Amino acid sequence: MADTLAPAAPAKAVRGRRRITRRAALAAGGCAAIGAATYVCRNTLRLRLERRRIALPRLPAPFEGFTIALLADLHHSRCVPLALIREAATLALSARPDLVLLGGDFITGSARYADPCLRALEGLAAPHGVFAVLGNHDHGGKERAVRSALARRGFRELFNAGVWLARGGARLRLGGVGDLWRATQDLPAALGDLRAGEGALVLTHNPDFAELMESDGVDLLLAGHTHGGQAVLPLVGAPFTPSGYGEKYRAGLVRGPRCRVYVTRGVGTSVLPVRIGCPPEVSVLELVRGRENREGADFVAGAGSQAPEPCAAFEQ
């Protein structure tokens, strides 16, 4: 009997060990998955203040050192809390900007998010005012809610329109154009009576507009929309950048065909509430006179104009 039963004990022990090993592997995998999910979700709340100095060739002398706070892609929704938007406004104000620009995509989904989002931003103020454009997510029947929420806070929308900023007896044009995917763009209307030798700042939601501009009157285009790719993987880059020009306008200072383009990574998220390798951003841009950017490392030279590719199937 002892001889026949002897092999059974080691087999049971082996099965037990296998079960323990499998359980341990599953537990380790589960912990790793939870850890990774927590990490990418927490990243969506780690706002970073990005300060850049941008040289513009036609900046009037009195505007030397002029500071712009740029916020875009707030995307208030169930996934982007008001606390993050309030923190973004506080960070922007901490830089004591001369001008505040809001680059669109205030909400995701329902129009009912518009007023709370703008209420969270209502402390924003600057000596030269607060101006905005709408993004693709602010359209589709939600324009009215977003526009009235902006107006209630005294924030002026620049929809194919512009204003003159005045300082020290000089003037600087600030224009804005409609969203590239959901509205019309009238750059001449935004530039107004801009004269030869003057260079304008233009606010747009989608940086791809840089490739379509036909005027040489713009010195700096300010945009958001691409969220820095939202997920930027080591060696791979950003698998989904909602642009017809690959990763050219993913984030940062880019050389467009006719002018420099600053693309903020934005504050919120859309599609998935995750950020990997591109933290949310509040941008503070200091304008200086000059032809070349003084922070060479920050200047991303684009690969030049490329043929537009079909856009990604989702809207970011």
Select 270 or 293, whichever has its Cβ closest to Fe ion. 270
Tell me how many degrees the CA angle 86-179-135 measures, rounded to the nearest 5: 20
- Pair type for strands 156-157 and 170-176: unpaired
**DSSP secondary structure letters along 227-272:** GGGSB-BTTTB-S---STTTTTTSSEEEE-SSSEEEE---SS--SS
Shortest distance in whole angstroms from residue 95 CB to Fe ion: 22
Site for Fe ion in 187-216 (CB under 5 A): none
**What is the per-residue binding string for Fe ion in 68-107, x denoting contact by CB under 5 A?**
-----x-------------------------------x--
Among 72, 84, 45, 13, residue whose Cα is nearest residue 221: 72
Shortest distance in whole angstroms from residue 250 CB to Fe ion: 13
Shortest distance in whole angstroms from residue 141 CB to Fe ion: 17
Q: Does 179 bind Fe ion (CB under 5 A)?
A: no
User: 107 in helix, strand or coil?
Assistant: strand
Count of residues of this chain found to bind Fe ion when the rule CB under 5 A is applied: 2
Select 162 or 266, whichever has its Cβ closest to Fe ion. 266
For residue 281, what are the β-bridge partners? 48
Select 101 or 200, whichever has its Cβ closest to Fe ion. 101
Q: Does 281 bind Fe ion (CB under 5 A)?
A: no
Q: What are phi and psi of 99, to 5 degrees?
A: -150, 145
Stretch that binds Fe ion, among 4-12, 66-74, 193-201, 251-259 (CB under 5 A): 66-74
Among 71, 135, 140, residue whose Cα is nearest residue 109: 140
Interface contacts to Fe ion, rule CB under 5 A: 73, 105
